Amino acid sequence: MDMQVAKKKLGLKEKYQVMTRDLDWTPTYQKMEDIYPYVHYEGIKIHDWDRWEDPFRLTMDAYWKYQAEKEKKLYAIIDAYAQNNGHLNVTDARYINTVKLFLTGVSPLEYMAHRGFAHVGRAFPGLGPRVACLMQSLDEMRHLQTQVHAISNYNKYYNGFHDFRQWYDRVWYLSVPKSFFDDAITAGPFEFMVAIGFSFEYVLTNLLFVPFVSGAAYNGDMGTMAYGFSAQSDEARHMTLGLEVIKFILEQDPDNLPIVQRWIDKWTWRGYRVLTLVAMMMDYMLPKRTMSWKEAWEIYFEENGGALFRDLSRYGIRMPKCAETIALEKDHLSHQAWCTFYNYTAATAFHTWIPTEDEMQWLSAKYPESFDKYYRPRWDFWREQAAKGNRFYNTTLPMLCQTCQVPMLFTEPGDPTKICYRETDYEGMKYHFCSDHCKEIFEHEPEKYVQAWLPVHQIYQGNCFPEGTDPTAEGFDPLKAVLQWYNIVHGRDNLDFEGSEDQRNFAAWRAQATRNV
- Site for other proteins contains 449 (CB under 8 A): yes
Q: Which residues contact 91 (CB under 8 A, 6 or more apart)?
A: 218, 219, 220, 287, 288
**Nearest distance, CB of residue 35 and other proteins, angstroms:** 5
Crossing angle, helix 107-123 and helix 175-186, to 10 degrees? 0
Backbone angles phi, psi at 300, to 5 degrees: -80, -30
The site partner of 304 among Fe ion, other proteins, none (C-beta below 5 to 8 Å per kind) is none
Indicate the helix (H) or strand (E) that contains 381: helix 376-387
- Site for Fe ion contains 277 (CB under 5 A): no
Which residue in 459, 456, 426, 454 sits closest to 441, CA to CA?
A: 426
Let me know how long the chain is. 517
**Nearest distance, CB of residue 132 and Fe ion, angstroms:** 14
- Site for other proteins contains 507 (CB under 8 A): no
What is the DSSP-derived secondary structure letter of residue 21?
A: G
- Site for other proteins contains 515 (CB under 8 A): no
**Nearest distance, CB of residue 420 and other proteins, angstroms:** 23
- Quick one: which of 106, 317, 346, 401 contacts Fe ion (CB under 5 A)? 401
- Neighbouring-strand partners of residue 431: 424
The site partner of 434 among other proteins, Fe ion, none (C-beta below 5 to 8 Å per kind) is Fe ion
d(CA 421, CA 409): 9
Which residue in 97, 180, 176 sits closest to 408, CA to CA?
A: 176
Q: What is the DSSP string of 433-447?
A: ESSHHHHHHHHHSHH
- Site for Fe ion contains 439 (CB under 5 A): no
Q: Which residues of 451-480 are buried (b: 16+ CB within 10 A; e: fewer)?
A: ebebbbeebeeeebbeeebeeeeeeeebee
- Quick one: which of 100, 130, 237, 432 contacts other proteins (CB under 8 A)? 130
d(CA 146, CA 230): 9
The site partner of 382 among Fe ion, other proteins, none (C-beta below 5 to 8 Å per kind) is none
The site partner of 115 among Fe ion, other proteins, none (C-beta below 5 to 8 Å per kind) is other proteins
Stretch that binds other proteins, among 240-248, 434-442, 472-480, 502-510 (CB under 8 A): 502-510
Contact 280, 334 (CB under 8 A): yes
- Quick one: which of 87, 143, 270, 376 contacts Fe ion (CB under 5 A)? 143
Cβ closest to Fe ion, residue 87 vs residue 273: 273
- Site for other proteins contains 350 (CB under 8 A): no
- Site for other proteins contains 29 (CB under 8 A): yes
- Site for other proteins contains 24 (CB under 8 A): yes
- Site for other proteins contains 441 (CB under 8 A): no
Indicate the helix (H) or strand (E) that contains 112: helix 107-123
- Quick one: which of 56, 57, 89, 251 contacts other proteins (CB under 8 A)? 89
d(CA 228, CA 222): 10
Contact 431, 424 (CB under 8 A): yes
**Nearest distance, CB of residue 335 and other proteins, angstroms:** 28
The site partner of 183 among other proteins, Fe ion, none (C-beta below 5 to 8 Å per kind) is other proteins
Count of residues near Fe ion by CB under 5 A: 8
Stretch that binds other proteins, among 17-25, 203-211, 347-355, 371-379 (CB under 8 A): 17-25
Which amino acid type is present at position 262? R
Cβ closest to other proteins, residue 192 vs residue 293: 192
The site partner of 85 among Fe ion, other proteins, none (C-beta below 5 to 8 Å per kind) is other proteins
- Site for other proteins contains 91 (CB under 8 A): no
- Site for other proteins contains 426 (CB under 8 A): no
The three-class DSSP label of residue 419 is strand
- Quick one: which of 105, 121, 215, 305 contacts other proteins (CB under 8 A)? 121
d(CA 450, CA 363): 38
Give the residues lining the site for Fe ion (CB under 5 A). Answer: 110, 140, 143, 401, 403-404, 434, 438
